[in-house]
Structure 1
């Protein structure tokens, strides 16, 4: 583990992410924003997950920022099972051993790091993933430490799950009317228990941070302030999103430019559909076939990222020479695309893809990272939710913001989405007047999001407010 900064500082921050890509990514982006204010940030997780976060970050290079310090907390070996595309529940249950190991084994080394930093800093702010709330409880042992829960999901998803509680405590409150959606199938029982084990410790937090933006879901962020306080003062929320860079130069930095970007350079503006289901979602061979045929039948240009879902340790098989190609496409499928489509089999630079002028739509699983990134660059979505908060995010996109079309209905999640349905959804987004109107609304929203980070913008002001608060 890297030794913490020894000189006395006014304030220091410890980031405690959940060891899964969508969570690591958000807190590392947040580290960049905080470090730009001269506050040292200590990013604390296992060596494997630090490596994952640094390797996959896009839009900037964490190794070029001197006041971001990575601490490799010791984590004993844990099982690394493969994903199961055939599972009826699409939640990535194969990641559960990694999550359990983190909560069980990272607490003690985190506590040691916290104790060390508290001896050199006037104040230490612990920013922890909402699912790593043991960090909040540990912070109570130090008078100059305070903890803040970081929420990686949308305010819409968070408020939806608490709507009954909000309604019961605010009987006169007018609530937005949106389609009801069942959360059945969003999680496994094991993960529900995991969430419950961390929820109780949220009571130790001094505030909440959201990767969101007032122009995106201000109404739902406001609802979260209506939650009963359980006898405590109402905790201040800071809305500091989007955390991802909103200006991308497209040059790839020290890693070089991905070949898919060269291909995109040759396409007309707003003509390409980007297809990706995130780092943790799995599709069956039958579903891949139907999706492949639907994309081809739509006659729309597309770029499709098709790769196996992450394992708990993404480096566990990097030296395995017996790797078997996963996710086979129909025979000669790629040859038959004739330049109309491109399939990417490795990790793709999603931020650079979405920021590219040729991208006109995004067929997505609706993970919150993907939603915020897509909205940041004014790209409308075709929704295909798989698990977790994704069905709720899909409703936010299609029914509330009206910047997307539905391709996969959550109520029919156990059915195969046929090629005809894929074709219709893609054409509706990419080739109709309705799709153009959605794209126009998405571009307008993207401009408003970027404005939120300009001088006097809501996200910028909330970040500056948070920095001032922890530096008081």
Structure 2
């Protein structure tokens, strides 16, 4: 019998590619009738994706096709860049899918699974008369927030200026009233409005949405989709947590030194401070952080990254040691040498998995949030961008699995932060997240168990994955 072919289209960049491939592997390991082809779109002149795709084992069930690079006109504003790139790639996607649909050795085309930022590719799924599903790499509450925001803007003619006059909003996927200041920046800024409407409107075109989350974690949000009239009535499939394995491209000497150091620390005593692969703080904020760390007296691992030049979209880099001395308060590195480590890039999953790690000061990116829960480490919230503010609110207020450093801190694209977080506030967060007997720690430990069991037979994510596979395979037999 021919296999059932599913086309995956991740958004450009390694982050989304890695989680897409984790999901693809989950599907084919569960049901050998499936065959998956991943169409890789790259930003021009990037090589990190190639390094990653070359390391993948190619099997009968998983194919990776690198689409040809498209040239993009210069000076496109950041809010339009993705759209321009995807539109330019549509002919290449159509050609690749036509080859799959007609190739004798291929399976029977049954569905597209497109990344949450590639929703304009659903048009191509419709041309081939197969359903277009979306792979949403954040949480269910966040998905509900974006869809509800789109409805407000479209049906109730609300816009960002009117939103800013309110203080709270009732959102179906959150049990508590939601603070306006914790909405994603792209919902609050006039110049991002067309991006938001386009993006959220694209989500509503889906035949179903696959979410990297699990029902035990976000039960209110999951149930709101089947019970609330204001949310679209397409099915959602929470099949997570899909955790990214550590990329093997980084130097491992430093990593093994960090782990050796952790081996010598008491259980749950170390606070890990890390803002993800794209997060960084400006110099004034770094000084406040250093004061807070030193005043707290806590053992620490601090992943401190150098911000990219203003106005660029590149990722932060590591500081040379000479820069660290002038950046941090005088003598900080000497005074804290016995109790902490200031590092550059961090092997995050390894650090969170270590028994000595007791708390995580995080930007609340969704992958980091899932990792911290999986490894049972409470979070002190310090969001920076995208939907991180709503993730922070969810952790602290809805789930009681995080403590607040901030819920409304944000760094604008190509700009600076909206305010300076003072050392005393950060220090309170560090002390609070390391509290050995707190309610938050107990809640996280309990959910950690559930996050490990949900993908096993009998767990909710296992059941949702089964439903999704049945849906995909039924497309072919009908």
* TM band (smaller chain): 0.7 to 0.9
Q: What TM-score, normalized to structure 2?
A: 0.79
Alpha-carbon contact 2:141-2:173 (below 8 Å) kept: no
1:419 aligns with 2:423: yes
Secondary structure of the residue aligned to 1:36 is helix
- What residue number does 1:344 align with? 343
- What residue number does 1:42 align with? 37
- What residue number does 1:266 align with? 264
- Paired with 2:47 and 2:350, the residues of 1 have a C-alpha distance of 21
User: Once the 2 structures are TM-superposed, how far is the Cα of residue 399 of structure 1 from its aligned partner?
Assistant: 1.1
User: Once the 2 structures are TM-superposed, how far is the Cα of residue 185 of structure 1 from its aligned partner?
Assistant: 6.4
Secondary structure of the residue aligned to 1:410 is coil
Alpha-carbon contact 1:363-1:383 (below 8 Å) kept: yes
Alpha-carbon contact 1:361-1:380 (below 8 Å) kept: yes
Alpha-carbon contact 1:360-1:439 (below 8 Å) kept: no
- What residue number does 2:65 align with? 71
Tell me which of 133, 148, 151 is aligned to 2:136: 151
- Paired with 1:404 and 1:221, the residues of 2 have a C-alpha distance of 20
User: Which structure has more RCO (C-alpha within 8 Å, separation ≥ 6)?
Assistant: 1
Secondary structure of the residue aligned to 2:272 is strand
User: Once the 2 structures are TM-superposed, how far is the Cα of residue 464 of structure 1 from its aligned partner?
Assistant: 2.2
Tell me which of 375, 378, 403 is aligned to 2:376: 378
Secondary structure of the residue aligned to 1:302 is strand
- Paired with 1:223 and 1:178, the residues of 2 have a C-alpha distance of 14
Secondary structure of the residue aligned to 2:97 is helix
Alpha-carbon contact 1:14-1:125 (below 8 Å) kept: yes
User: Once the 2 structures are TM-superposed, how far is the Cα of residue 41 of structure 1 from its aligned partner?
Assistant: 2.5
- What residue number does 1:28 align with? 21
User: Once the 2 structures are TM-superposed, how far is the Cα of residue 74 of structure 1 from its aligned partner?
Assistant: 2.4
- What residue number does 2:90 align with? 107
Write out per-residue CA displacement over residues 426-471 of structure 1, whole angstroms, 9 at most, x where no aligned residue.
Answer: 011114643xx32121011110111111221111121122123212
User: Once the 2 structures are TM-superposed, how far is the Cα of residue 181 of structure 1 from its aligned partner?
Assistant: 3.4
Write out per-residue CA displacement over residues 84-138 of structure 1, whole angstroms, 9 at most, x where no aligned residue.
Answer: xxxxxxxxx9965752443232222122112222223212321112221111111
- Paired with 2:15 and 2:57, the residues of 1 have a C-alpha distance of 22
Alpha-carbon contact 1:80-1:98 (below 8 Å) kept: no
Give the 3 Å change call, closer, same or farther, for CA 303–193 of structure 1 in structure 2. Answer: same
Give the 3 Å change call, closer, same or farther, for CA 404–80 of structure 1 in structure 2. Answer: farther
Give the 3 Å change call, closer, same or farther, for CA 272–411 of structure 1 in structure 2. Answer: closer
Q: What TM-score, normalized to structure 1?
A: 0.80
Secondary structure of the residue aligned to 2:216 is helix
- Paired with 2:93 and 2:237, the residues of 1 have a C-alpha distance of 24
- Paired with 1:332 and 1:36, the residues of 2 have a C-alpha distance of 53
Alpha-carbon contact 1:380-1:404 (below 8 Å) kept: yes
In structure 1, the gaps of 5 or more residues are 1-7, 82-92
Could you say what the CA RMSD is over the residues aligned between the two structures, in angstroms? Answer: 3.9
- Paired with 2:448 and 2:369, the residues of 1 have a C-alpha distance of 11
Alpha-carbon contact 1:151-1:208 (below 8 Å) kept: yes
- Paired with 1:157 and 1:213, the residues of 2 have a C-alpha distance of 13
In structure 2, the gaps of 5 or more residues are 157-169, 411-416
Secondary structure of the residue aligned to 2:127 is coil
Alpha-carbon contact 1:140-1:204 (below 8 Å) kept: no
